[in-house]
C-alpha cells in the first residue's frame, strides 16, 4: 500500500528534524494529566500507541506556560517549571524508540481559563469573553505581556531540554494569542490593538523569544485559526495579512480554523468532508512559502495523498482519527485500508467528555483508547461458545472481540443486513460518515473463520440452546419511543400519513420523497434531543419553515458541544422556531396540539410532522433467556440500547467488556 500512497510516505525535514512520513498527530487535550500538571503514565501509554502505529510526528497536547493564570483545564499539562522535564524526557524517549518525532504545543489560555479552576479572574487582550456567556476577563498590562512572553520562551527551552524535536506555539482557537489577533476580542487602543500589525505584536514577541531561547536550529511551529468563521472575526485574507508580522522565525504553519463560537469548524462537524480545510493551508503556503500542516476530517488515505500531491499542504494533520485508530499509518503502509477504524466525527468521547463534562477522553468507536488491542494476544484456553443476538454496532463489537480471542461465536440478526441503527441513521445525508463504523465492524467480522453470521434469522430459545452457549450477549437494540398520546398511534408511519418517526423519515429520504426545495412547507418536530435535531438539520437548509417542540427547558440536552454549537447556529441561520417547556397533547392528521408554558393550548399545523421522543430498549427475548438458561452454566450479558436507549459509545464499551466475562469464567 506504501506505493499507492507514496506522497504520504515521503520523509520530511525541517531544520534538524526529519520525519519518516507526512502524518502529524495534531495536539488534542486528553484530561490525562496529574493534578499537579505533570505528565501521567496514562499519557505515556496513549502517545506510545500512536508512535508504535507509525505516526511521523506527534504534537503533544497544549501545556501551560504560566499556571494557574493560563491554565486550560483541571488536569492540563504544565511546562512552566523545570520539575516537569523528567516525565517529558521519559515520553520523548519512549516515542523516539518507535521512530516517531515528537513536539509539544505551548499555550496560555487567556480568557478561556475559568476562575472556578484557577482561583483568579481570567486575563485577555480586552474585557471580552472568549465565548458567549463566558467569564469577563481583565485586560493584561504591558508589563504582564512582557512577562508572559518570557514564559513562552522558558517553556520552549524546557521542551528542547526534555528531548522534544520541535515546539508549537498556539495562536488560534480562542486562546490568549488568538484573543490578541482577533478583532472580536481585541479592543485595545495601545500598541497591542487596532491595526493588524499591532494585534500581531504579542505573537511576534513570543515567536522571537522562543527563537532566542532555543537557537537557530530548533523547529518552531505556529498553529493559527486561518478563518475564524464568525461575523467580524478574521477571514482568511485578514490572516494572510497579519502573518507577515511574525512569519520570519516560523518554520511550519499549522493551519487550523475556528474559535469557541465556531467550534464546529475547529473540531470538525461530521458533515464536513475529508480535507475540507486544505484550501487555507494552500493560501498560507502560496503567500509565505513556508511548509504547512492541513487537517479537517481527513480519514481517507487517498484524499490525504492527493492533498500532498497537489501541493496544497506539506503535512497531513490527523487528530481524532488517531484516537479512533492508533494504527492508521501502519494500516495504510502495510495493510488493508478497510481495516482502519475510522473516526465518525461524533465528538462525544473526545470533545464531549473533555470540553463538555471535564472527563478524560474516550472514543465511541475505540473502546481500547488507552489499553490498545493487546487483548488479541490472549486466546481461549478451552472451548467457549458465544451467541450474540443483534448485529448492531454493540453486537458486532462483542462478536468480533469474542472471536478474536478464540471463542466459537454465532451472531444472529433478524434483518437482512448488519449494522443496526447506525446503518439506518447514516442514510441521512449529513450523517453519512456514521456508516464507516458498522462497515469497519462488518469487514472485521467477515475475516474471522470462527465467527458464524446468521442474517434474516429471528433468534429463539430453541435455536440458541442448540448452539450450546457458554455466554449469550443480548444486543437487540432499541425502537422509537411512542407513548400513549391521543391520536399518535392512529397516524404515525401509516400509508399516506403526514406524521413520521425517524425511521420512517429515513425511508422517505432514501426513496427521494422529500423535495430539495421545501420553501413554503411547514415542518414541526416533536422532541428536542439528538434525533429531533437530526430532522431539523435535514429540513431547515431546504427552506422549510421548521418548528421544534421540547417539553424540557432546553433543546439539545446532553449532546456534545461541537454538535450543539453547529446545530444552534444552523437553527439561528434558518429561523427555526424553538419551543421549550411545551408538551404534546394530541396528534391530528395535519397538526399537533401542544400545551404552552403558560398553560394555554395551541395547534401547530404542518405539512410534515415528526415525533422524535427518543428511543426505548427492545428486548423481545431477554426474559425467556433468563428463564431458560442456567446462570451457573451460561452467562447472559445485556448490552447497548437493549439495556436502555443511549449512544453508540456505551454499547461499544459494554461489548468489549465481554473480555471481563471470559476472564471471570476462566476461558482466557
Active site residues: 175
Query: What is the grid cell recorded at 400?
Result: 468480533
Burial of 11 (0-12, 13-18, 19+ CB in 10 A): exposed
| Residues forming beta bridges with residue 386, ordered by sequence position | 409, 471
Helix, strand, coil content of the chain in percent (nearest 5): 40, 20, 45
Give me the long-range contacts of 65-69 (CB less than 8 A, separation at least 24). Answer: 65/106, 65/107, 65/108, 65/148, 65/151, 65/152, 65/154, 65/155, 66/108, 66/148, 66/151, 67/37, 67/118, 68/113, 68/117, 68/118, 68/119, 68/120, 69/108, 69/113, 69/118, 69/120, 69/123
Beta strand pairing call for 591-595 and 583-587: antiparallel
Q: How far apart are alpha carbons 293 and 286 in whole angstroms?
A: 13
- Whether the CB-CB separation of 614 and 531 falls below 8 Å is answered with yes
Burial of 632 (0-12, 13-18, 19+ CB in 10 A): exposed
Q: How many residues does the chain have?
A: 668
Question: Where does 215-344 have alpha helices with state H?
Answer: 236-242, 278-288, 301-310, 320-324, 328-334
| Residues forming beta bridges with residue 408, ordered by sequence position | 385
List all residues 6 or more positions away from 361 whose beta carbon is below 8 Å from its beta carbon: 28, 29, 30, 31, 32, 323, 349, 350, 353, 354, 369
- Whether the CB-CB separation of 28 and 323 falls below 8 Å is answered with yes
What are φ and ψ of residue 386, in 5° steps? -120, 130
Q: How far apart are alpha carbons 57 and 61 in whole angstroms?
A: 13
Nearest to 98 by CA among 41, 53, 46: 53
In Å, what is the CA distance from 301 to each residue of 29, 280, 318, 432? 24, 20, 11, 18
Nearest to 545 by CA among 517, 569, 567: 517
Encode 220-243: b = buried (16+ Cβ within 10 Å), e = exposed. Answer: bbbbbbbbbbbeebbebebbbbbb
What are φ and ψ of residue 20, in 5° steps? -75, -20
In Å, what is the CA distance from 187 to each residue of 54, 138, 203, 612? 45, 12, 16, 45
Amino acid at each position: 500500500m506504501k506505493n499507492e500512497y507514496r506522497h504520504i510516505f515521503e520523509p520530511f525535514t525541517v531544520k534538524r528534524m526529519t520525519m519518516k512520513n507526512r502524518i502529524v498527530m495534531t495536539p488534542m487535550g486528553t484530561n490525562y494529566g496529574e493534578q499537579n500538571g505533570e505528565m501521567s503514565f496514562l499519557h505515556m501509554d496513549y502517545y506510545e500507541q500512536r508512535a508504535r502505529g507509525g505516526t511521523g510526528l506527534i504534537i503533544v497536547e497544549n501545556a501551560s506556560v504560566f499556571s494557574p493564570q493560563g491554565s486550560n483545564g483541571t488536569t492540563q499539562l504544565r511546562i512552566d517549571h523545570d520539575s516537569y522535564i523528567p516525565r517529558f524526557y521519559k515520553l520523548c524517549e519512549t516515542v523516539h524508540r518507535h521512530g516517531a518525532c515528537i513536539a509539544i504545543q505551548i499555550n496560555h489560555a487567556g480568557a478561556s481559563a475559568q476562575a472556578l479552576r484557577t482561583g483568579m479572574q481570567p486575563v485577555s487582550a480586552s474585557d471580552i469573553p472568549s465565548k458567549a456567556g463566558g467569564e469577563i476577563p481583565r485586560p493584561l498590562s504591558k508589563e504582564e505581556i512582557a512577562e508572559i512572553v518570557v514564559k513562552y520562551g522558558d517553556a520552549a527551552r524546557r521542551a528542547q531540554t526534555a528531548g522534544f524535536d520541535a515546539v508549537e506555539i498556539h495562536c488560534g482557537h480562542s486562546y490568549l494569542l488568538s484573543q490578541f489577533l482577533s478583532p472580536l476580542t481585541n479592543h485595545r487602543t495601545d500598541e497591542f490593538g487596532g491595526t493588524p500589525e499591532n494585534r500581531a505584536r504579542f505573537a511576534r514577541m513570543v515567536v522571537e523569544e522562543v527563537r532566542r531561547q532555543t537557537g537557530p536550529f530548533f523547529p518552531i511551529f505556529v498553529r493559527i485559526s486561518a478563518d475564524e468563521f464568525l461575523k467580524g472575526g478574521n477571514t482568511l485574507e485578514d490572516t494572510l495579512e497579519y502573518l507577515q508580522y511574525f512569519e520570519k522565525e516560523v518554520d511550519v504553519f499549522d493551519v487550523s480554523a475556528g474559535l469557541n463560537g465556531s467550534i464546529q469548524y475547529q473540531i470538525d462537524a461530521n458533515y464536513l468532508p475529508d480535507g475540507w480545510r486544505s484550501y487555507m493551508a494552500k493560501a498560507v503556503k502560496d503567500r509565505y512559502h513556508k511548509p504547512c500542516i492541513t487537517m479537517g476530517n481527513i480519514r481517507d488515505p487517498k484524499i490525504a495523498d492527493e492533498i500532498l500531491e497537489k501541493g496544497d499542504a506539506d503535512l497531513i494533520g490527523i487528530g481524532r482519527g488517531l484516537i479512533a485508530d492508533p494504527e492508521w499509518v501502519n494500516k495504510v503502509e502495510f495493510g488493508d485500508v478497510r481495516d482502519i477504524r475510522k473516526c465518525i466525527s461524533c465528538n462525544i468521547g473526545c470533545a464531549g467528555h473533555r470540553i463538555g463534562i471535564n472527563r478524560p477522553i474516550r472514543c465511541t468507536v475505540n473502546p481500547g483508547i488507552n489499553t490498545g488491542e493487546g487483548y488479541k494476544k490472549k486466546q481461549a484456553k478451552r472451548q467457549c461458545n458465544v451467541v450474540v443476538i443483534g448485529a448492531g454496532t454493540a453486537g458486532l463489537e462483542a462478536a468480533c472481540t469474542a472471536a478474536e480471542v478464540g471463542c466459537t461465536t454465532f451472531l444472529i440478526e433478524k434483518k437482512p443486513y448488519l449494522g443496526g441503527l447506525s446503518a439506518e441513521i447514516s442514510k441521512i445525508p449529513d450523517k453519512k460518515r456514521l456508516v464507516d463504523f458498522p462497515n469497519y465492524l462488518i469487514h472485521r467480522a467477515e475475516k474471522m473463520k470462527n465467527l458464524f453470521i446468521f442474517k434474516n434469522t429471528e433468534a429463539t430459545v430453541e435455536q440458541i440452546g442448540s448452539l450450546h452457549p457458554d455466554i449469550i450477549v443480548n444486543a437487540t437494540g432499541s425502537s422509537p419511543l411512542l407513548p400513549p398520546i391521543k391520536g399518535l398511534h392512529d397516524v404515525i408511519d401509516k400509508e399516506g400519513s403526514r406524521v413520521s418517526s425517524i425511521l420512517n423519515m429515513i425511508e422517505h429520504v432514501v426513496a427521494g420523497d422529500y423535495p430539495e426545495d421545501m420553501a413554503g412547507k411547514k415542518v414541526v418536530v416533536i422532541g428536542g434531543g439528538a434525533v429531533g435535531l437530526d430532522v431539523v438539520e435535514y429540513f431547515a437548509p431546504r427552506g422549510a419553515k421548521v418548528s421544534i417542540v421540547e417539553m424540557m427547558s432546553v433543546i439539545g440536552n446532553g449532546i456534545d458541544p461541537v454538535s450543539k454549537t453547529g446545530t444552534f447556529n444552523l437553527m439561528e441561520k434558518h429561523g427555526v422556531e424553538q419551543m421549550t417547556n411545551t408538551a404534546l397533547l394530541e396528534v391530528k392528521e395535519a397538526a399537533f396540539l401542544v400545551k404552552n408554558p403558560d398553560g394555554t393550548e395551541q395547534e401547530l399545523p404542518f405539512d410534515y410532522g415528526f415525533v422524535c421522543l427518543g428511543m426505548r430498549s427492545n428486548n423481545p427475548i431477554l426474559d425467556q433467556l433468563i428463564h431458560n438458561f442456567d446462570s451457573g452454566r451460561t452467562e447472559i450479558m445485556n448490552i447497548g440500547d437493549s439495556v436502555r436507549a443511549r449512544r453508540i459509545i456505551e454499547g461499544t464499551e459494554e461489548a468489549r467488556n465481554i473480555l471481563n466475562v471470559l476472564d471471570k469464567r476462566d476461558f482466557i
